[in-house]
Structure 1
Amino acid sequence: MLATIGPIPGPDSEAEYAYETLWNGMRVIAHLPGNGSVRLLSPTGADVTAQYPDLHALPGLLPGPQAVLDGEIIAVDGEGRPSVERLQQRMSLHHPQAVKHALGDLPVQLMLYDILYLGEPTLQLPYTARRDLLDDLRLTTPQIRVPAGWPAPAQQALEQTRHEGYDGIIAKRLTSPYLPGRRTRDWIKIKHLPPT
């Protein structure tokens, strides 16, 4: 599911959305076969698992039902903020030795924010129900996080991400199903404007 770039929802509609941090990472679909491992696919379907051995077998991925999750891989800077430059450096590495050498210098994290399948398809569930299922999986480890969302007011969420050094927020309609491959106003990308 893809976001549409747009303005922040106004006071008359802001309560219809939850607000999440805009990560500017590498989008991946994470397949959890239920044996504690993870397989990472890019939006084009390429298997990128081998490039991220630090995300292969995570303590939080305990045996259980098969799951398919949506999220982003990020690389952080010295202050713990997502760095597009550091992520690009890591993404450019393909040789196993180069990847192994980068594990300490260019570590990555997997930010998971939606669930498409949990023993059965969850696409038609509303955003709020899918987030509840995702939270219930308790996947948080040093390498994997399920970041929280903010309720309205939208402006407060936007200001919080500005204060914390992020690029903006994504507004996600509380009632929206997950629409694979669709760009829709149910997800709105709101970026901070540069200072004037």
Structure 2
Amino acid sequence: MQAGTVPPALAPMLPVIGPAPRPEIEAEYAYETLWNGARVIAHLPGDGSLRLLSQTGLDVTAQYPELKELAALLPGPQAVLDGEIITLDSEGQPSVERLQQRMSLHHPEAVSHAIEDLPVQLMLYDIIYLGEPTVQLPYTARRDLLDDLALAGPGVSVPAAWPAPAELALQETRLEGYDGVVAKRLASQYLPGRRTRDWIKIKHLSRR
């Protein structure tokens, strides 16, 4: 891809729902928090702007103006990042209900008020373009690239991933009040728009 070319709009890679990997292969995966947020692909053209596309390809940038800080955190080169938007409740846990309230707002004045009443956070967990496509790289290399960017701000973060055993990640997320984990195969490439067992959504059977 030539320098200055706009990266293509890619659909996000999707997980299957299933049980944790068997003990004999669980070390082949990393384990990330299951956020149950609003999936977005963040496009940063390197000119100080940000474009957020929903899982269905809709431009939702105007609904989340506070997330423009991501462009300041990564002023260049061109990048495309994968993550989820969440809204926290009074106890600091992701709230689907509060997120749905925020997602329903479109009028600029309503969105402006919601920045204070229903603030969002962007949890970034993959990188699919950084000056050039990175989808062909294994998960471990993509995570290293993402971690090296040190993207951290009031509304933006890169959550940590757990190594095996899977049960440790499940115990931690259960205690912290999250819905489960996503197991991601360490050697897996990023497959835009595909649902594959390289990513497995593992939900807790019950909440504490």
1:155 maps to: 167
Cα RMSD after superposing both structures: 1.1
1:65 maps to: 77
1:123 maps to: 135
Distance 2:120 2:179 in 1: 18
2:4 maps to: none
Does the aligned pair in 2 maintain the 1:60–1:141 contact within 8 Å? no
Within the alignment, does 1:50 sit opposite 2:69 as a pair? no
1:139 maps to: 151
2:36 maps to: 24
Amino acid in the other structure paired with 1:90: R
Distance 2:92 2:48 in 1: 27
1:177 maps to: 189
Shift of 1:160: 0.4
The runs of 4+ residues in structure 1 deviating greater than 6 Å are: none
Distance 1:115 1:101 in 2: 31
Shift of 1:11: 1.2
Amino acid in the other structure paired with 1:136: D
Amino acid in the other structure paired with 1:121: P
Distance 2:22 2:69 in 1: 42
Gaps of 5+ in 2: 1-12
Closer, same or farther: CA 61–37 of 1 in aligned 2, 3 Å: farther
Distance 2:123 2:148 in 1: 15
Does the aligned pair in 1 maintain the 2:152–2:158 contact within 8 Å? yes
Residue identity (%): 77
How many residue pairs match? The answer is 195
Gaps of 5+ in 1: none
Closer, same or farther: CA 59–142 of 1 in aligned 2, 3 Å: farther
Distance 1:166 1:37 in 2: 32
Within the alignment, does 1:33 sit opposite 2:45 as a pair? yes
Q: TM-score of the superposition, structure 2-length normalised?
A: 0.91
